[in-house]
Amino acid sequence: MDKEWLTIALAKGRILPPTLQLFTAAGIDCAELSADTRKLVFTVGAQKLRFILGKPADIPTYVEYGAADLGVVGKDILLEQEKELYELLDLKIGACRLVVARRRGSGAFTGGYVATKYPRITERYFQQQGKQFELIKLHGSIELAPLLNLADVIVDLVSTGKTLAENHLEEVETITPITSRLIANPGSYQVKGERVMAFTRKLERVLSVQEEVQ
Amino acid sequence: MQEKLKRLLTPEGVWDLLPDMARQKRKLEEKIQELFSRWGYQEVSTPAFEYSANFVGEMKDGLAEQLYRLWDERGRTLVLRPDFTIPLARVAALHLTQAPQPLRLCYGGSIFRQTAGLQGKQRELTQAGVELLGSPHAAADAEVIALAAAVLQAAGLEEFTLCLGHSGFLDSLLSAYQVDLAERAIIKRLFYQRDFVTLKKQVNRLPLADRQKENILRIPTLRGGREVLEEARELLTTEQADRPLATLAEIWSVLEDYGVTAYLQLDLGLVRMLDYYTGMVFEGYTAGLGYALCGGGRYDRLLEHFGPARPAVGFAVSIDHLLTLLTREKKMPALTPPVYVAYGRGGRAAAIAAAQALRTGQTPAILAAAAATAAEARRQAAVRGAQRLLYYSEAGVLDLDLQKAAGEEELDG
């Protein structure tokens, strides 16, 4: 494997467009990724960059095993998977929050059934609160669970809160705010140290300009 | 059939090693042990399970949850060894207090760790490593690092990076800034995880001068060649932080004498495990593998838990990770193909004599299990990947170079 090349794993879906926007602003050529193709690997020879596209939850795995040097992934996934990965930068994109929600008007949650896509985060959170609970792992449409009496509360990702409202749910508490992060595996961080640092600095500069503007 | 198959499979995280792979793994381990021995390290072997009391309490961070525990007939808790450093510290304290110091010990074998499932992580891991007990000097640190480089070279790696740090550097800086112990632990953990996002938030919350905060946040960028030490010294003008830097400078000088600084990269933000290492720490990486191949450091406070306090430094290399890499790069140790010795009527005695002579001369020889015709013998030799066929019968000996024959047949085709 060539030490000169940098492979970056990006998540398909919601956070891809803002990621590409940020990369472009930092002078990282990723124009090809914006095109609507089914390709999963993109090579930018001039900058010795390779991009791979994967499902968000798989990005940490690609990076962990060295299939990719760097990755862009939501903090929710990092918290859930607890892998030994380095978190280099908060990219401030894909902002949302992880919340506990319940059926509108239902009483305070003192314990019971919790439906979620994030069993580990949920377990840690309710354990810290000393509450009794049973986890019900679902893979999507978590909002349905309280309506179908599958669960008393849910733990899910919320950006505007619209989906919750439409399903007669209300936010009870925020577990943590979430943004996308630039991650690296220990091997690439060391072996390709200079390239990784240079790449991080490019993004950092754009982010600090954005911060000033705001 | 289904039930039987289920019974025959191995649990998640452990593997059967099949012919060739098992031999290659053994050869790699032998090569590494041979190297340790040439550097004056003496091999010791410790039991696969011990009393859990030895491990719990002296444990590296997070290891407690990964222990395989079992009970003996008196209800005492035993654990499958999760690493070698603690057993070696125990052996040194129990049996080797009178041995000349410093003591150079090495080991190789399996360790056992329960990891989360479905992550492709092995639960029985093979390690090889050394411990240099009884020397506080930078030369001892350097010897262990140079030996780690020699191991990776002997295994066939051309390019790798050994990153080198010092656990005292961050510690003394934070204590000079009078960061309280609880905060210090949090910050150390963030360095260990290299969670720079949270680190930034955490440091900015501390009641420190802006310049001090900047200094802490610059530590992760203190990476590179020897010049990093100068940079660090200018940046962090506290006397405490100076000692670790002086030690690293000395280690670097010794490693120049060993001629291995080309592989070396300083990394002052390197934190390996919490509350375990007391001085130099290092890790070895290579391109394409996300995790460390080897790692180690100085742990001067461990031995006093078992016996007399003694400084100690050591490292371990993961045989599994090396094998993964060597397989991927097609650099596995080569195995000598056997000679197939077969016989027909009246040829057995001569065949046995020939096979024995080959074996004495270090060439592997497979003796046919029963008399066969020459054509059968040739087929049997071919399916075993033999390099050569020797066939004895009343008619004399047939000596066939199978590698050459195979090549000619390919040409014919």
**With DSSP H G I counted as helix, E B as strand and the rest as coil, what are the percentages for chain A, rounded to 5?**
35, 30, 30
Same-domain pairing of A16 and A114: no
Interchain pair A87, B292: CB under 8 A: no
* Percentage of chain B modeled with pLDDT above 70: 94
Cα B405 from chain centroid (whole Å): 41
Rounded to the nearest 5°, which phi and psi values hold at B363?
Answer: -95, 130
Same-domain pairing of A109 and A161: yes
Same-domain pairing of A106 and A28: no
Report the DSSP pairing between strands B365-367 and A70-74: unpaired
B351 in Cβ contact with B339 (< 8 Å): no
Confidence of residue B163 (pLDDT cuts 50, 70, 90): very high
Chain B: give the shortest CA distance to residue A68, in Å: 8
Please list every residue in chain B whose beta carbon sits closer than 8 Å to the beta carbon of residue A65. Answer: 120, 290
Please list every residue in chain B whose beta carbon sits closer than 8 Å to the beta carbon of residue A189. Answer: 194
Please list every residue in chain A whose beta carbon sits closer than 8 Å to the beta carbon of residue B197. Answer: 87-90, 181
Interface test with A, best of B121, B152, B197 (most A CBs within 10 A): B197
Asked if the C-beta of B221 comes within 8 angstroms of chain A's C-beta atoms, the answer is: yes
From-to residues of CATH 3.30.930.10 in chain B: 10-328
Q: Around Cβ A39, how many Cβ atoms within 10 Å?
A: 11
pLDDT, average across residues A101-121: 91
The reply to whether A142 falls in a domain is: yes
The one-letter code for the residue type at B37 is: S
Q: Which two tokens stand for residue A201?
A: 């600095």
Residue A35 is predicted with a pLDDT of 80
CA distance A113 to A138: 12
Partner residue facing A191 (CB), from B195, B197, B286 = B286
Among residues B286, B310, B276, B316, the alpha carbon closest in space to that of B129 is found at B316
Residue B54 is predicted with a pLDDT of 81
Residue A2 is predicted with a pLDDT of 64
Same-domain pairing of A24 and A85: yes
Same-domain pairing of A71 and A126: no
| Strand-pair partners of A177 | A97
pLDDT, average across residues A92-100: 95
CA distance B98 to B101: 8
pLDDT single digits (tens) B208-254: 999 999 999 999 999 999 999 999 987 776 666 688 999 999 999 99
Among residues B301, B266, B290, B311, the alpha carbon closest in space to that of B145 is found at B266
Q: Which two tokens stand for residue B311?
A: 């400084």
Chain A, chain B: beta-carbon pairs less than 8 Å apart: 71
The reply to whether A121 falls in a domain is: yes
Structure-model confidence comparison of residues B120 and B272, the more confident one: B272
Q: Around Cβ B406, how many Cβ atoms within 10 Å?
A: 13
Asked if the C-beta of A2 comes within 8 angstroms of chain B's C-beta atoms, the answer is: yes
Asked if the C-beta of B288 comes within 8 angstroms of chain A's C-beta atoms, the answer is: yes
Residue A67 is predicted with a pLDDT of 93
Same-domain pairing of A87 and A56: yes
Q: Around Cβ B291, how many Cβ atoms within 10 Å?
A: 17
From-to residues of CATH 3.40.50.800 in chain B: 339-412
A86 in Cβ contact with B196 (< 8 Å): yes
Cβ partners under 8 Å of residue B317, min gap 6: B32, B127, B128, B129, B148, B151, B152, B284, B293, B294
What is residue A57's DSSP assignment?
G
pLDDT single digits (tens) B124-133: 999 999 999 9
Residue B238 is predicted with a pLDDT of 66
Interface test with B, best of A180, A191, A211 (most B CBs within 10 A): A191
Q: What is chain A's mean pLDDT, rounded?
A: 92
Asked if the C-beta of A17 comes within 8 angstroms of chain B's C-beta atoms, the answer is: no
Asked if the C-beta of A66 comes within 8 angstroms of chain B's C-beta atoms, the answer is: yes
Residue B122 is predicted with a pLDDT of 87
* CATH code (residue A119): 3.40.190.10
Interchain pair B289, A66: CB under 8 A: yes
pLDDT single digits (tens) B29-81: 999 999 999 999 999 999 999 998 888 765 555 677 889 999 999 999 999 99
| Residue with token string 């239902």 | A106
CA distance B350 to B392: 7
Residue B233 is predicted with a pLDDT of 87
Nearest CA in chain A to B329: A1
- Identify the CATH homologous superfamily for domain B10-328: Bira Bifunctional Protein; Domain 2 (3.30.930.10)
Q: What is chain B's mean pLDDT, rounded?
A: 91
What domain range includes position A194? 6-94+179-213
A141 in Cβ contact with A157 (< 8 Å): no
Chain A: give the shortest CA distance to residue B261, in Å: 15
Please list every residue in chain A whose beta carbon sits closer than 8 Å to the beta carbon of residue B286. Answer: 187, 191
Please list every residue in chain B whose beta carbon sits closer than 8 Å to the beta carbon of residue A198. Answer: none
The reply to whether A1 falls in a domain is: no
Chain A: give the shortest CA distance to residue B413, in Å: 36
Q: Please determine, for residue B182, whether its predicted confidence score (pLDDT) is greater than 50.
A: yes
Interchain pair A190, B267: CB under 8 A: yes
Interchain pair A64, B224: CB under 8 A: no
Q: Please determine, for residue B389, whether its predicted confidence score (pLDDT) is greater than 90.
A: yes
Asked if the C-beta of B223 comes within 8 angstroms of chain A's C-beta atoms, the answer is: yes
When the candidates are 3.40.50.720, 3.40.50.800, 3.30.70.120, 3.90.1150.10, the CATH number that belongs to B339-412 is: 3.40.50.800
Domain count, chain A: 2
Report the DSSP pairing between strands B388-393 and B396-401: antiparallel
Same-domain pairing of A42 and A106: no
pLDDT single digits (tens) A35-83: 877 888 999 888 899 999 999 999 999 999 999 999 999 999 999 998 9
What are all long-range contacts of B239-242, with beta carbons under 8 Å and residues at least 24 apart? B239/B176, B240/B168, B240/B172, B240/B173, B240/B175, B240/B176, B241/B169, B241/B172, B241/B173, B241/B176
Confidence of residue B413 (pLDDT cuts 50, 70, 90): very low
Interchain pair B223, A197: CB under 8 A: yes
Tell me what ipTM this predicted complex has. 0.84
Partner residue facing B289 (CB), from A63, A187, A197 = A187
Same-domain pairing of A40 and A89: yes
The reply to whether A101 falls in a domain is: yes
Chain A: give the shortest CA distance to residue B382, in Å: 35
CB contact residues (below 8 A), chain B span 171-200, against chain A: 193-198
Nearest CA in chain A to B191: A86
pLDDT single digits (tens) B296-354: 999 999 888 888 899 999 999 999 999 999 999 999 888 899 999 999 999 999 999 99
A183 in Cβ contact with A75 (< 8 Å): no
Same-domain pairing of A130 and A169: yes
**Which spans in A53-192 are helix H?**
59-64, 75-81, 119-128, 144-147, 162-166, 186-191
Same-domain pairing of A166 and A191: no
Please list every residue in chain B whose beta carbon sits closer than 8 Å to the beta carbon of residue A87. Answer: 193-198
Same-domain pairing of A115 and A76: no
The reply to whether A145 falls in a domain is: yes
Interface test with A, best of B63, B152, B196, B282 (most A CBs within 10 A): B196
Nearest CA in chain B to A78: B195
Q: Please determine, for residue A150, whether its predicted confidence score (pLDDT) is greater than 90.
A: yes
The one-letter code for the residue type at B382 is: A
Interface test with A, best of B61, B118, B189, B194 (most A CBs within 10 A): B194
Q: Please determine, for residue A182, whether its predicted confidence score (pLDDT) is greater than 60.
A: yes
